Amino acid sequence: MRHCLRKAGFLIVLSCANAGLSGCFDLMGDKVTDPVAGSIAHGPEATNNPPTNTGNPPPAITVGDNYSFTPSASDPDGDLLTFTIHNKPMWAEFDPDTGTLSGVATLGTEGTYSNIQITVHDGNLSADLSLFSIDVTQVTVGAATLSWTPQLQNTDGSTLVDLAAYKIYYGTSPGSYSNQILINNPGLTTLVVDNLVPDTYCFVATSVNSADVESDFSNMATEVVN
């Protein structure tokens, strides 16, 4: 029995020591014909493993606050990953390169955004993050009630006869008053300041006479708004 090798157009005849085998081996390719079974055997093929996709998206946001979530994704084969999203909230942006969902919810977008899903792809296989929801709520606001005693004297001790107005200054730090309210009714001695987000507020007041001369700040009052 003989084996024959075929290469570059030449036929090379080799003696075969084992008389029980015969067949042809092609050195130009990587497949081998089994002389007995006639089957074609291939080399091992590389397998593709699916990527992983995990994370815990924040479940809620208040109007005006920033929302940001990036899933933790990886691929055991080192494949390039891309991301897609299903049911993206209208107030948010999505980055297909990182899977980051981010944005600021504005007034009018309050509600629950359900069945959001971020999927990572490696080109062949994909992995879904569990469905999640985001609740957008309006910020809770409160109010502070102020009261004061009208100023009766000028700084020189004389009687104040031309009181014209009050000014209320307030902020969230002592000595830093970013907000101002002018009260043109000198007979008023109470005021409700509303639409305050939860925080600790500092208030001071001044008196203003008819010549638009303003007094120094009063003592500071603080109010905790929950």
Q: Which pLDDT belongs to residue 151?
A: 82
Domain formed by 142-225, architecture: Sandwich (2.60)
Closest Cα to residue 132, out of 52, 53, 60, 50?
60
As to burial, measured by CB atoms within 10 angstroms (0-12 exposed, 13-18 middle, 19+ buried), residue 84 is middle
End-to-end CA distance of the chain: 98
* Residues written for the chain: 226
Mean pLDDT, contiguous 10-residue spans, the chain (226 residues): 45 44 44 47 71 96 93 96 97 97 93 97 96 92 90 86 94 94 94 90 94 92 92
Q: Which pLDDT belongs to residue 45?
A: 63
- What are all long-range contacts of 97-101, with beta carbons under 8 Å and residues at least 24 apart? 98/70, 99/70, 99/71, 99/73, 100/68, 100/69, 100/70, 101/57, 101/67, 101/68, 101/69, 101/70
As to burial, measured by CB atoms within 10 angstroms (0-12 exposed, 13-18 middle, 19+ buried), residue 160 is middle
Sheet with strand 92-94: strands edge to edge: 66-69, 101-104, 92-94
pLDDT in tens, 120-169: 999 999 999 999 999 999 877 899 999 998 888 888 888 888 999 999 99
Per-residue CA distances from 126 to 52, 79, 82, 93 (Å): 8, 11, 9, 21
Q: Which pLDDT belongs to residue 64?
A: 87
- Check if 52-137 and 142-225 are the same fold: yes
> Domain 52-137 carries which CATH code?
2.60.40.10
Boundaries of every domain in the chain: 2-41, 52-137, 142-225
Per-residue CA distances from 55 to 24, 114, 209 (Å): 57, 17, 62
Q: What distance lies between CA 94 and its chain's CA centroid?
A: 9
